[in-house]
A = this chain, B = another copy of it.
Amino acid sequence: MARKASLSGFPEWLPAERLVELHVLDTLRRTFELHGFSNLETRAVETVGQLLRKGEIDKEVYGLSRLQDAAASAQDPSALALHFDLTVPFARYVVENAGHLAFPFRRYQIQKVWRGERPQDGRFREFTQADIDVVGDGRLPFRYDVELALVIAEALEALPIGPFTVRVNNRKLAEGFYLGLGLEDTAGVLRSIDKLEKIGAAKVKELLASELGATSEQADAALALAAIRTEDASFVERVRALGVEHPLLDEGLAELAEVLQAASRRAPGRVVADLSIARGLDYYTGTVYETVLTGHEQLGSICSGGRYESLASKGSRTFPGVGLSIGVSRLVSRLLADGSVAASREVPTAVLVALANDDSWSDAQDVAAALRSRGIPVEVAASAEKFGKQIKYADRRGIPYVWFTGAGGSHEVKDIRSGDQVPADPATWMPPAADLNPRVEAVDAG
């Protein structure tokens, strides 16, 4: 655990650690499919032009070039580079394949992404994201914003990560409020409010005055809005009590209330309205989500997203969407670092078929085939070493059962944890369900 990656920023797991990651990925996949999301993968490579469309992030992009060629550069939009998230490639995919997709289109996508962060930052340069999005053709009912909050709460609830909070806000609510206050540069106000956690209310107030010309009253009202946090739709009254009026504010309040009404019923305590959430990316146009693990708030958001009205477009045709992205590597590295979750064994194998002598290998394969036909993962010993050595092979890997075949074809299976050994029939024997496959579970802190 906590071994140092041999290339800084590129984590690799040991087999038992990979089982934890696989458990997380399988659980997410299962939840997403139960909710009707189709799986997709996009290529890892985009053109530089596609990746830099939104500007500003070129420092983090890894360009690709064959070793004898010149480097990919930001000046050559046809150069190739690795994607840094799954949203930009998905938007490109939707536009390219619109004629083949049924809208609203629901997809999940679990892939690695790369960012050329400086190694000394201690950040990941390769990591896995799990994204879900619903995308419409021209329009997308607001109800999907409600649904995605519920899906993500259910997906995270199914993971062995402990309590978490999905914090939801709405850009329309915030922008309408600022406009109602008379602050026209709503993006500027959002940028300042976004720094609340980092620099505190007093500094944000200074920023609002110096950079946006806000009066003390305007700044106080913006900060009062950002201080509102409720587990149900009661935030509406508290915003109303601030006495600000604007049609966009009304729209935002109604939308966020709809999310909270559904969530407080279906995922009580997991979803809160948090009116300080701004999210940096400016393509969000309504609902915004972020998620923190209780007690691990310093980890930052492990799952973020929102509604975007025009991330993708094709001529005059636009594809609005709402989506969320889970930072799987960040989550898994936290689980592994604090040892809060572990696999019950490090190999898939439930049974090792031992060899009494070197000629019995083929018979042992018959036993193994019979067991595998019922879904039991089995290995056959490679050579007829002393039984003690064969049992040690199983023990070192956490394989719970060793199978022995006697002369005359009698069969016995030994639970090497308890030492119990009983007669068994290869055609019918099953291990207890808990031993069939490795289990990944929360470890008691004790």
Contact = CB atoms under 8 A, between A and B. Distances in A.
B41 A347 contact: no
Contact of A64 (B13, B64, B73, B349): B64
Contacts of A102: 346, 396-397
A21 to B, nearest CB: 8
A314 B331 CA distance: 33
Given A143-B383, A347-B38, A361-B143, A63 B64 contact: yes
Q: What range describes how many residues of A lie at the interface?
A: 35 or more
Interface string A1-23: 00101110011111100110010
A63 B66 contact: yes
B379 A14 contact: no
A81 B106 CA distance: 34
A22 B40 CA distance: 10
How many copies of this chain? 2
Contacts of A11: 43
A48 B67 contact: yes
A175 to B, nearest CB: 25
A36 interface: yes
A293 to B, nearest CB: 24
Contact of A43 (B10, B40, B61, B74): B10
A15 B34 contact: no
Interface of A: 3, 5-7, 10-15, 18-19, 22, 33-45, 47-48, 58-74, 80-82, 92-93, 96-97, 100-102, 104, 106-107, 112, 114, 116, 125-126, 141, 143-144, 147, 150, 262, 265-266, 346-349, 361-362, 365, 369, 372, 375-380, 382-383, 396-397, 437
